[in-house]
């Protein structure tokens, strides 16, 4: 069942109210406050409270709560189906970060300390949904108004604690369309080479969120400008003479992809001028993407020019591409990366509108037919079936009989 935003919100407010009634301090915290103040629909709600994980579970009941993150003070509370889950987190302070990514331990603390352990001022706000009041310990409201992404405290120290924050800075700046403040920008430029302590999977999550957002071109430009690209995606920063003009065209293409664009498509558009399918596969492998995502990226790059001359091509060459799973992505890739192919894309869309019997007729022959025809089973089957399929699509044969006759002529030629 899909989540209903009003129900999510009502349930999240209800949680705060119930904690309050039980005598605890409780607020909405982090991204949901930021998004609400920006007039965006929060994806989900987080609640911060001085209740301990046990007290939270005691209040909402074991059946309605999940304690997977309890060691960090996080309890998930399950609401009615359309409301989803709300994470309720005990105010905490983080101990030292010796691995450059995770705190060595956490201890329970106050609202003010909880705000200051967060990454950026605009992510450090609390909101009281009972009294409709923002609680701002970190200057987040001013930065929201100025559209600035600023680290809470000293940027260098905060990025040294958790290097992922460098990449989050770029992702938030892009998706919120904010500027990164000068200190944070300089800190990233100086520390970008330390990003490698972050796991490839986590880097991929950030890249996915950046590239699937409509503002992805801004994100990619920031990645290059901050030197993070040279570390995590060196493929797109080649030492070429025409690199700047080429890069500008890539950013235009990324912008043209628009909204509702999947990760494989946006990644293929980014890599298209820089990487062949093998190199793209290596990027996907590096980020531990699923085989399905990797295969889609590679297929798109392999076929990016396959349909450019579609009106002049034989149907048997066009049809297998048109009936492939990735065809919608491929047409969008062509439109975005080479607007000159608009005519070819329109032509393909007309072809795709044909009824299935025309677009993808059932094959005339199977392996069993070859066997029954007395052809010994073997490696030649595959190529026979494929050549017959091409002849069928190109209108050279229309029945099983004609197909077998055609194979007989091939066999007699090779005798
Ligand atoms: P979104 O979910 O839209 O990406 P968000 O702000 O909710 O944005 P989350 O990753 O869900 O981001 O984290 C929730 C909150 O937890 C953040 O707003 C921030 O206050 C805090 N937070 C998350 N990750 C970090 C981090 N690496 N360092 C410090 N604080 C963090
Ligand atoms: Mg969130």
Question: In total, how many domains does the chain have?
Answer: 4
Instruction: Answer yes or no: do 85 and 215 share one domain.
Output: no
String of b and e for 306-339 (b: at least 16 CB within 10 Å)? bbeebeeeeebebbbbbeeebbebbbbbbbbbbe
Answer with the one of 361, 379, 397 that is the final residue of a domain: 361
Residue 46's beta-bridge partner residues? 87
**pLDDT higher than 70, residue 241:** no
Domain match, 293 and 335 both: no
Summarize pLDDT for 199-231 with one digit per residue, the tens.
999 999 999 999 999 999 999 999 999 999 999
| Last residue of one domain, picked from the residues 128, 146, 164 | 146
User: Which atom belonging to ligand 1 lies closest to the Cα atom of 30?
Assistant: 18
Q: How far is CA 191 from CA 66, 98, 104, 155, 156, in A?
A: 37, 16, 21, 11, 8
Question: Which of 8, 28, 31 to mutate to test ligand 1, by most ligand atoms within 8 A of the CB atom?
Answer: 31
Residues 142 and 209 in one domain: no
Neighbours of ion ligand 2 (CB under 5 A): 31
State the pLDDT at residue 1: 77
pTM: 0.93
Q: 26: helix, coil or strand?
A: strand
**How far does residue 394's CA lie from ligand 1's centre (Å)?**
56
Q: Based on the fold, state whether residues 292 and 309 are members of the same structural domain.
A: no
Is 387 found in the same domain as 357? no
Check if the beta carbon of residue 224 is closer than 8 Å to that of residue 248.
no
* pLDDT confidence bin for 238, thresholds 50/70/90: confident
Nearest ligand by distance to the CA of 44: 2
On whether both 308 and 295 belong to a single domain, the answer is no
Q: What is the largest CA-CA distance in the chain?
A: 93
Under DSSP, is residue 136 helix (H, G, I), strand (E, B) or coil?
A: coil
Beta partners for residue 108, in sequence order = 92
- Assess whether the C-beta atom of 162 lies below 6 angstroms from ligand 1: yes
Q: Over the stretch 269-281, which tens digit does the pLDDT of each residue have?
A: 999 999 999 999 9
The three-class DSSP label of residue 266 is: helix
Per the structure, the complete domain to which residue 315 belongs is given by 303-361
What does the alpha-carbon distance between residue 48 and residue 74 come to, in Å, rounded to a whole number? Answer: 9
Q: Is 40 in the pocket of ligand 1 (CB under 6 A)?
A: no
Q: Which atom of ligand 1 is nearest to the CA of 118?
A: 30
What CATH number corresponds to the domain at position 188? 1.10.3090.10
* Residues 296, 164 share a domain: yes
18 CA → ligand 1 middle, Å: 24
**Percent of the chain whose pLDDT exceeds 70:** 99
Q: What percent of the chain has pLDDT over 90?
A: 94
Q: Which ligand is nearest to the CA of 168?
A: 1
Ligand nearest to the CA of 114: 1
Instruction: Give the closest residue (by CA) to ligand 1 atom 26.
Output: 119
Same domain, 186 and 54: no
Centre a 10 Å sphere on the Cβ of residue 238 and count the other Cβ atoms it contains: 13
- Whether residues 212 and 316 share a domain: the answer is no
Rounded Cα–Cα distance for residues 387 and 404 (Å) = 12
In terms of domains, do 395 and 285 share one? Answer: no
Pocket test for ligand 1, best of 92, 118, 210 (most atoms within 8 A of CB): 118
Are 332 and 373 in a shared domain? no
Q: Which ligand is nearest to the CA of 40?
A: 1
Mean pLDDT throughout 326-346? 97
User: Whole-angstrom Cα distance, residue 166 to residue 50?
Assistant: 29
Are 9 and 131 part of one and the same domain? Answer: yes
| CATH code, 131 | 3.30.460.10
108-124 mean pLDDT: 97
Domain final residue, candidates 252, 285, 300:
300
Report whether residue 31 contacts ligand 1, using a CB cutoff of 6 Å: yes
């Amino acid at each position: 069942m899909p989540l209903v935003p009003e129900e999510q919100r009502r349930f999240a407010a209800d949680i705060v109210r119930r904690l309050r009634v039980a005598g605890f301090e409780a607020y909405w915290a982090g991204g949901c406050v930021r998004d609400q103040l920006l007039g965006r629909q929060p994806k989900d709600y987080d609640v911060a409270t001085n209740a301990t994980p046990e007290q939270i579970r005691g209040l909402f009941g074991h059946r309605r709560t999940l304690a997977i993150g309890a060691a960090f003070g996080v309890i998930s509370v399950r609401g009615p189906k359309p409301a989803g889950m709300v994470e309720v987190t005990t105010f905490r302070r983080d101990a030292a970060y010796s691995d450059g990514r995770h705190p060595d331990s956490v201890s329970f603390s106050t609202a003010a300390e909880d705000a200051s352990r967060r990454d950026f001022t605009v992510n450090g706000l609390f909101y009281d949904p009972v009294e409709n009041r923002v609680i701002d310990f970190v200057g987040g409201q001013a930065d929201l108004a100025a559209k600035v992404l600023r680290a809470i405290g000293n940027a260098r120290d905060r990025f040294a604690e958790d290097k992922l924050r460098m990449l989050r800075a770029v992702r938030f700046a892009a998706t919120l369309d904010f500027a990164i403040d000068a200190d944070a920008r300089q800190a990233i430029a100086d520390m970008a080479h330390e990003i490698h302590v972050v796991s490839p999977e986590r880097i991929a999550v950030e890249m996915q969120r950046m590239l699937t957002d409509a503002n992805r071109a801004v994100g990619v430009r920031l990645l290059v400008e901050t030197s993070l690209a040279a570390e995590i995606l060196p493929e797109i920063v080649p030492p070429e003479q025409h690199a700047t003009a080429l890069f500008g065209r890539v950013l235009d293409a990324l912008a043209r992809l628009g909204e509702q664009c999947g990760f494989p498509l946006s990644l293929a558009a980014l890599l298209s001028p820089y990487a062949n399918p093998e190199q793209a596969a290596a990027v996907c492998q590096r980020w531990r993407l699923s085989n399905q995502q990797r295969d889609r990226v590679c297929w798109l790059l392999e076929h990016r020019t396959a349909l450019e001359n579609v009106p002049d091509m034989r149907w048997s060459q066009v049809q297998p591409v048109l009936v492939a799973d990735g065809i919608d992505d491929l047409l969008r890739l062509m439109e975005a990366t080479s607007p000159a192919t608009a005519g070819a894309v329109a032509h393909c869309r007309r072809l795709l509108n044909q009824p299935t019997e025309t677009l993808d007729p059932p094959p005339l022959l199977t392996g069993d037919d070859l066997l029954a025809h007395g052809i010994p089973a073997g490696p030649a089957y595959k190529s026979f079936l494929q050549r017959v399929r091409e002849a069928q699509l190109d209108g050279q044969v229309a029945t099983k009989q004609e197909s077998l006759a055609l194979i007989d002529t091939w066999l007699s030629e090779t005798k």
